[in-house]
Amino acid sequence: MVAYFSGHWTQAVEESEVAGELLRSQCTGVPWERGAAEIVSFVGRSATGELAENRRRLESLTKEAEDRDDLFTALGLRLLGCAYILDAVADQPDRALNGVEQALARWPHP
């Protein structure tokens, strides 16, 4: 998180990937921490221009989060992780806006 908040995106991605793997393989009852690691990785890859990798991972990450009823991660990837950028750079601004609106509509807090 220090690397993330300092704007050291490559380091943030590397460290959050390691943390995410540790959380998946060795921990239970840590959905927020696991989601935060995934979101930090996603944001870091966006910041370093790894949009193709984010596009490749988005569906499976979102599905995994949905399967475990983890709304924070499922929506966090789309909103905090700026997944809408993937549609915007693909020249699909309506799809990008629709994705944001759908995610916001699912968020339980106004």
Backbone angles phi, psi at 87, to 5 degrees: -75, -40
pLDDT in the model for residue 78? 87
Which residue from 10, 102, 19, 12 is spatially nearest to 1, judged by alpha carbons? 12
Question: Across 2-11, 67-76, 79-88, which has the greatest mean pLDDT?
Answer: 2-11
Q: What is the pLDDT of residues 10-55, one digit of tens each?
A: 999 999 999 999 999 999 999 999 999 999 999 999 999 999 999 9
pLDDT in the model for residue 7? 95
pLDDT in the model for residue 80? 86
What is the DSSP code string of 23-65?
HHHH-SS-HHHHHHHHHHHHHHHHHTT-HHHHHHHHHHHHHHH
Which residue from 50, 34, 106 is spatially nearest to 83, judged by alpha carbons? 50
CA distance 83 to 76: 9
pLDDT band for position 108 (50/70/90)?
confident
pLDDT in the model for residue 36? 95
Q: What is the pLDDT of residues 54-70, one digit of tens each?
A: 999 999 999 999 998 99
- Which amino acid is residue 50, in one-letter code? E
Question: Domain extents for the chain?
Answer: 2-106
